[in-house]
Amino acid sequence: MPKVSKSSASSHLVVPGLTESHGEDINGWNVSLAADDKDLDLAPLFKGAPNNLCRASHLGYVIKGKFGVRKADGTEEIYEAGDAFVIEPGHTPLSFAGGEYVAFTSSEDAKWQAAVMMPNMPQFAKDQGVELPEDLAMPS
């Protein structure tokens, strides 16, 4: 049976001072091991998506600290260490310093998510005062 760890993951998104995520597509699912360095509203990363919201569903488990989402109606769901979660489409993520979690997203939705988020990453990082590593820096 397939498995993934930070070291065996095929994709690595490491932005010092912001976030670290290691992911792998396994049998139609993207498994992401994530750790956040700051308390942040990540909504700006979804600029350009329909209604500027994530369309994906996610399943997950918070290992340490907390993780959350803001739903389309403005309400927030905060998940803490030990919580398993199911997130429906129509949200934006909230990160918390020290939070670590595992998220499961369909591979198709994970590809869509990356296509929306990555073009917004340079401006978002700049707004946070964080310099992107060269492999993530995109021309303006």
Q: What is the pLDDT of residues 59-99, one digit of tens each?
A: 999 999 999 999 999 999 999 999 999 999 999 999 999 99
In a domain, 21, yes or no: yes
In a domain, 3, yes or no: no
In-domain check, residue 133 = no
Q: Is residue 84 part of a domain?
A: yes
Asked, for residue 79, whether it belongs to a domain, the answer is yes
81 falls within a domain:
yes
- CATH code, domain with 35: 2.60.120.10
Average pLDDT along the chain = 94
User: Taking the model in full, what pTM does it have?
Assistant: 0.91
Judge whether 78 lies within some domain.
yes
Where in the sequence is the domain holding 95, given as residue range(s)?
11-127
Please give the backbone phi and psi of residue 20, each rounded to the nearest 5 degrees, phi first: -145, 130
With tokens 């369309």, the residue in question is 55
Round to whole Å and give the CA distance between 136 and 133.
Answer: 6
Below-50 pLDDT ranges, the chain: 139-140
Number of domains in the chain: 1
Query: First-to-last CA distance in the chain?
Result: 42
Spatial distance between the Cα atoms of 59 and 62, rounded to a whole number of angstroms: 10
Q: With respect to residue 99, please indicate whether it lies within any of the assigned structural domains.
A: yes
